[in-house]
Structure 1
């Protein structure tokens, strides 16, 4: 008959066996397969070069837009509860867009679509989470609150695929009302991404928040990696990403053709999420520096006003060992914001000279500060900014970043 010692040894062996089985590494979940018409996966060699390193796990991307339909199978496991800044009737996980088939849903799917559903649509960072922040596309004044809300809810990347006409803001085409929110995000190590605008073949009016210092402004390229015809020609453009010849998922789960810098911004935000997931200790400032320094020229080498420093190169930006970038490499986005912030907070008795452009020009011009509906004049003994009047300025948020219906 087995002794007590035998049974003790037997039990110990069983426990050890169970522990060993549980300790065996589990195979990672299979990566979803993108659709063949998601051509940007081939452009960036995502499946062979990027996804073996990371698919974005652990990073939350805020999508400031019309809300996101989280019930779609393509997004069901990607969207976390967000905030509705319009009427607080939802938690952001409903797309209430009435002007297009679902702008917020399309943007979110490009970032972290899971595959599945009837479309099989896959995002660039399928393991990242989307935090939907719903705003009204007729009220550009909600952007500062939306940025702060996104930061407070844990977003490390904020995507803003929309814009308001900032022509009246000179010479920096950005309302000073946005400066505290942008500064709040940068202080909390958050990367801000925005679409540069879709009026390059027309009025080409500057678009905020992309035009604001401190924001990564994204232009669009086509499948052939040429500048998209309608991408804006602006001195605030810093980088380019795919935005022409796109296939997009709408809020009903249907596919549409589209084009625009909205897509370019969404894919850039997803790329930043991948970089952050692979390099969790890398500061946002360094990420921006690397994104700009490793970009591939579009056309002639150097910066241009359609594609900035060039096409975003994810495999280079994500790999600081294989693609080192000097700590002293230029960082015009942060430099521009710091200069702008100093000018806004200055107590000089005369209007300060604001930077003309963080990239294209070092010249400055004198100006008063035009905010949304308020004219401010720097005045009086270098002690305070005195409010002297109210000016009605309509910051009409246009739908130029919408994808068109099929």
Structure 2
């Protein structure tokens, strides 16, 4: 009997659409990382990309950028891990207008998914533990699991205790369901938007922190065979978390003194607010603003949006003096005072805002 008649068909692996040469992709324009590259490109940061592996044969990853060793996976038949990794850290190249958010960061590719692409929470817990063991400063769960487990919540707790920022996509495909560790406390859950700014994912809840581009995207493709190759247009709510993980790497590189929780606070506090002005179950506190998140001058103890500020405390609404930085940081290291104050106001109680007004602080929509 011929081999083809007796062998089970293998999986159909991802293939590139080609090399993208169009205008700068809208998601990249939205986040605008090049504006921050004079300050930081994410140097010194290790971003774990947990999902389906990453194809190290795509030439838009720099030599040595993808970490090897036990537990890593530099192949990716599924393709989602390679797309997510490219959004985080693909190198600028002359042959394409696409580039990652933090090209100075190193990438730690970890596969935990089954051949069918599904995720076992116990295996995901092991992947997060592996990322912590390798000292990843940002852990991107590109493919979350459909169920929680004690092991998974424990792995998240360990990651946070070690100072890592855990970012996970709100990627559930059925109404009313959650993904994990997306819905786990302390994880930055990321919703997704299309070019019109509309939410595109099904998953929703009070745990969604911010949103980022998740539709009509361009990124690196698996199956490149040593070339610079891409997939487009890609719509996958799970990929929005890649943009946020890249911005988190920029923040950690530029503000190495911040804890993981302080990085999360920056990302939520400086996001572009939803039309309601408050929290949205699908957009969180709004679409991530990379420039504000990296360059804003904020107090170390500034409250996160929605947090209750203790009576008598006004620290959350008063922008702090900029810390001493290298000369190149001075011009680009702060944003307008009104923008910081407006973002901070979303995270305090009404009483705290009134106290701030008595001190002369003015929110962006002050009415005399």
TM-score w.r.t. the length of structure 1 is 0.64
Counterpart position of 2:189: 217
Post-superposition CA distance 1:40-94 (Å, at most 9, x none): 23223332x311211111101001111111122111432111543xxxxxx4112
Residue 36 of structure 2 is aligned to residue 45 of structure 1: no
**Counterpart-to-counterpart distance in 2, 1:317 and 1:328:** 13
- Cα offset for 1:34? 9.2
- Cα offset for 1:320? 3.8
**Counterpart-to-counterpart distance in 2, 1:92 and 1:116:** 24
Counterpart position of 1:109: 86
Counterpart position of 1:190: 164
112, 126, 129: which one pairs with 1:135? 112
- Cα offset for 1:115? 3.4
- Cα offset for 1:135? 1.0
5 Å matches for 1:13-92? 36-47=23-34, 49-77=35-63, 78-84=65-71, 91-92=72-73
- Cα offset for 1:148? 1.2
**Counterpart-to-counterpart distance in 1, 2:121 and 2:269:** 31
**Counterpart-to-counterpart distance in 2, 1:270 and 1:92:** 20
Residue 148 of structure 2 is aligned to residue 162 of structure 1: no
Helix, strand or coil: the match of 2:83?
helix
Going from structure 1 to structure 2, the CA distance change for 1:38 and 1:82 (only over 3 Å counts) comes to: farther
Counterpart position of 2:273: 297
Residue 144 of structure 2 is aligned to residue 144 of structure 1: no
Counterpart position of 1:327: 301
Post-superposition CA distance 1:17-50 (Å, at most 9, x none): xxxxxxxxxxxxxxxx996242123223332x31
Contact persistence 1:161–1:261 (CA under 8 A): no
Helix, strand or coil: the match of 1:207?
coil
Counterpart position of 2:177: 205
- Cα offset for 1:332? 7.2
227, 237, 262: which one pairs with 1:286? 262
Contact persistence 2:33–2:102 (CA under 8 A): no
Contact persistence 2:216–2:232 (CA under 8 A): no
Post-superposition CA distance 1:302-326 (Å, at most 9, x none): 00100111111111111242xx257
Residue 213 of structure 2 is aligned to residue 232 of structure 1: no
CA RMSD of the aligned region, Å? 2.3
Post-superposition CA distance 1:274-304 (Å, at most 9, x none): 0011111111121111111111112210001
TM-score w.r.t. the length of structure 2 is 0.70
**Counterpart-to-counterpart distance in 2, 1:82 and 1:196:** 29
Counterpart position of 1:256: 232
Going from structure 1 to structure 2, the CA distance change for 1:63 and 1:332 (only over 3 Å counts) comes to: farther
Q: Between Structure 1 and Structure 2, whose CA radius of gyration is higher?
A: 1
Helix, strand or coil: the match of 1:67?
coil
Q: Which moved more, 1:119-128 or 1:150-159?
A: 119-128
Contact persistence 1:227–1:298 (CA under 8 A): no
- Cα offset for 1:143? 1.2
Going from structure 1 to structure 2, the CA distance change for 1:251 and 1:117 (only over 3 Å counts) comes to: farther
Structure 1 unaligned residues grouped into runs of 5+ = 1-32, 85-90, 167-173, 334-406
In the alignment of these two chains, the number of paired residues is 278
5 Å matches for 1:330-341? 330=304
**Counterpart-to-counterpart distance in 2, 1:39 and 1:241:** 11
**Counterpart-to-counterpart distance in 2, 1:294 and 1:279:** 15
Counterpart position of 1:275: 251
Helix, strand or coil: the match of 1:185?
helix
Going from structure 1 to structure 2, the CA distance change for 1:246 and 1:125 (only over 3 Å counts) comes to: same
**Counterpart-to-counterpart distance in 1, 2:199 and 2:232:** 21
174, 179, 204: which one pairs with 2:153? 179
More strand by share: 1
**Counterpart-to-counterpart distance in 2, 1:244 and 1:46:** 18
Moved over 4 A (4+): 117-120
Contact persistence 1:64–1:160 (CA under 8 A): yes
